[in-house]
Structure formats: structure tokens, C-alpha cells
Amino acid sequence: MLITANEISTFLGGEVVGDPEVQVHAPSKIEEGKEGTISFLANPKYEPYAYSTEASILLVEKSFQPTQSISSTLIKVDDVYASIGLLLDKFKGAQDTSFQISSMAVISDSATFSDKVSIGEFTVIKEDVNIGDNTVIHAQVNIGRNCTIGQNCLIYPNVVIYPNAVIGNNCIIHAGAVIGSDGFGYSKDDAGKYTKIQHVGNVILEDDVEIGANTVIDRATMGSTIIRRGVKLDNLIQIAHNVELGEDTALAAQAGIAGSTKIGKGVMIGGQVGIAGHKEIADFVQIQGKSGVISSIKEVGKRLFGYPALDYKEFLRAFASMKKVPALIKRINALEKQLAEQKDQDKQENKSKE
């Protein structure tokens, strides 16, 4: 795709300063900008690159006033960040709208879907699966018996969905993710041997959910593991049986939530965070990367840090003070010595008085 400065400016509602006919084929970072690309100046600390970049077009704020000469054509817009999002969408191109069911897929006769669905090679669709319109299922996917997949979904290669899952509309599931595997539940006999507890529940993903590559969501023992509208899960995350994640909650990579924990809406959970089982986390809580949360959090919007996690500022204070302990030990030694000396002295004084 080749597109002119003029076309981009019209699309973004901006203003061209320079050659309106210069063409670009891809976006680039300002410090790596090459001829034929469009770069962005959003963060003022990158301004020096504006004078050296080779990008053909540079997107800048309306208020930007260059202090040196710039070789790029400028497009001035109200909000550079928002414009980047729109442009990345444009360069990604429209979703392919020609749907195709591969003759190399194995699809149960009882599965139902219209001709506005794509199913890739070597994909297996089991009995009683229902798939919504405009959904694209890539190659080598496995969708178990009685699953429901919504409209406008995108399911990448090697995704495995166990039976009875319900996936909403506009969901994206990345390669290798597993939805609905058995929960980790056993009863232990007196000899210490484990007996498996069957899991007859399922997983529900509401609308607008995105699931990262190789992430795993276990199904409920009974009832459902529930991922609410708008939840975003990064890669390699573990969601155990009977967990519930509230609307617009986001988890960064390698986080793990143990069984039956309920997490509120708008919660932000950093990478590698662990949350113990059977806990409740209030809405809008923020948990710093790698923290370990071992109790319920009732305060809306609380920020947590550490292992075990404390209030954000309390953890930083405690951690800073931990580094001071070796010095404290020396000061206490000195105090004890001083006091002991004083006592000795007092004794001698008292003796001399006697």
C-alpha cells in the first residue's frame, strides 16, 4: 500500500507542511525512520530525532514549532497518540473478507455456521459446535464438542478449546492458548494418594476478550470460570478453575490466579504476579509486577507491591529500611556499649561516694 501525505492528512483531519504528494508504505520509529515511511513525534524527548530522521513524513502535534530545518514533510494533528492508533489500523489493512472452509479441516456434521466463516487446514471442529459470522479460525485449531464461538472472533493456530466453552463476540485467542482444561483438583487419601475430582463446569469468555499465546484457562469444577467483557490476558498466564475476572481487567504475561479467586473490574495486574486461591480483589486495584497477593483486597483502587504484597508505599518504605538494618545493628551495639560503660562509671562513682 502506497499512500500520500495528503491522503493521510485528510484521513486524520490534519494539516500538511511540505510536499503533499510524498508517498509512504509503512510506519517507522522516529529514530529508525527511512525514506518511504511515516514516523511520529509524540514524546518531546525524541525531538532531536525530528531533525535527523529520514522518514518521508513526520506526524507532529499542532503546536509543534521546529527549531532547526526538517527534511520530512510534516502532518500536524490534534493528538499524535490517537493518530498513531488509527494509522496502524490503516497500515494493517482491512481484514480479509473472503471466507473459506478448508477441505483439509475435519468438521462434525452437527457443527453449525454460515458461509461467512473461515476454517483453516487441519483444524478439528467437534459435535454441536456453533460458530458466529465473520469469525476466522486458523489452521490446526481444535474446538471441542458443544462449544459456542461468537461473531468476529479470531482464533490463531494450535489453540485448543475443550468441550462446552462459550466464547463471546470480537474475541481474539492467540496461538497455543488452551481454554477449558481440567482444573487441578484432587482428593487425597490417608496414604497420600490423589484421586482426581472430575470437572463438569466450563469456561465463559464474554465479548471483546483477548487471550495471549500459550495462556491456559481451566474450566470450573461446577459452574463456570468467567472472563468478563473486555478482559485482556497477555501470554503464558494461568487462570485456575472457578476464577472470575471482572470487566476491563488486564493481566500482564506469566501472571497466575489460583482457584476460585474473584477479581473486580478495571484491575491491572503486572507480569509474574501470583494471587492465592479463594480471595477477592476489589475493583480498580493495581498490582505491581511479580507481587504475591495472599489475602483479599477490599479497598477499591488500592496499589500493591511486594511478596507478600503490601500497600505500594509501605512496601517501598519497608524495603528501603531493610537495607539500613546492618547500620542499625552497629548503632545498637554502640548504644549498648555506651550504657554499659556508664553503668560501670556510675558504680564506681557510687563506690567512691560510699
Residues numbered 331 to 350 that lie near its own copies (CB under 8 A) are: 331-332, 335-336, 338-339, 342-343, 346
- Name the residue type at position 73: T
Binders of its own copies among 5-24, rule CB under 8 A?
Answer: none
94 lies in the binding site for its own copies (CB under 8 A): no
Q: Assess 314 for contact with its own copies (CB under 8 A).
A: yes
Query: Using CA atoms, how far apart are residues 155 and 119, in angstroms rounded to an integer?
Result: 10
**Which of these ranges, 57-65, 108-116, 127-135, 170-178, lies near its own copies under the rule CB under 8 A?**
170-178
43 binds its own copies (CB under 8 A): no
DSSP-assigned states of every residue in 114-127? -SSEEE-TT-EE-T
The reply on whether position 318 binds its own copies by CB under 8 A is: yes
| Of the candidate residues 252, 269, 282, 285, the single one contacting its own copies (CB under 8 A) | 252
Query: Which residue's CB is nearer to its own copies, number 21 or number 127?
Result: 127
Distance (Å, whole) CA 311 – CA 323:
19
Bridge-based pairing state of the strands 178-181 and 216-218: parallel
Provide the grid cell at 296. 483479599
Q: Is 89 in the site for its own copies (CB under 8 A)?
A: yes
Check if 241 is active-site.
Answer: yes
**244 sits near its own copies (criterion: CB under 8 A):** no
Cα separation, 155 vs 167, in Å, equals: 11
> Which C-beta is closer to its own copies: that of 20 or that of 172?
172
Closest to 277 in 3D by CA, of 296, 299, 304, 305: 296
Out of 62, 317, 344, 348, the residue judged to bind its own copies by CB under 8 A: 317
Assess 153 for contact with its own copies (CB under 8 A): no
- 199-218 binders of its own copies (CB under 8 A): 199-200, 210, 212-214, 216, 218
Peptide bond into 66 cis (omega under 30): no
Query: Other CB atoms closer than 10 Å to residue 102's CB: what's the count?
Result: 15
- Phi, psi angles (nearest 5°) of residue 308: -65, 150
What is d(CA 55, CA 34) in angstroms, rounded to the nearest whole number? 5
Catalytic annotation, pick one of 138, 174, 199, 241: 241
**Could you say whether residue 163 binds its own copies (CB under 8 A)?**
no
Residue positions annotated with a catalytic role = 241
